[in-house]
Amino acid sequence: MSDSEYWFCLTHRTVEGEDGCRNADRLGPYASAEEAGRALEKVEERNEAWDNDPAWNDDAPAPGDGPVEPSPDR
């Protein structure tokens, strides 16, 4: 790994270098400390985009989820 990788530590809410907390507690790596500092903001932006993505609308019926027609032999 290079010296130019940074992570955002979810435990300490700080930007860390390679020798920070364990990866399970961090987001990254990011190319700059500034980018790592925006990690939670980026997560929020992505969550908002996914929540409003019509391709992932859990409330809408999926293709083929229409009412089931009984078979003619029943």
pLDDT digits (tens, 9 = 90+) for 22-58: 999 999 999 999 999 999 999 999 999 998 888 876 6
pTM exceeds cut of 0.85: no
pLDDT digits (tens, 9 = 90+) for 1-19: 456 899 999 999 999 999 9
Read off φ and ψ for residue 64, nearest 5 degrees: 90, 0
For every residue of 20-41, DSSP letters joined together read: SS-GGGEEEEESSHHHHHTHHH
Structure-derived torsion over alpha carbons of residues 33, 39, 40, 41, reported in degrees to the nearest 10: 90
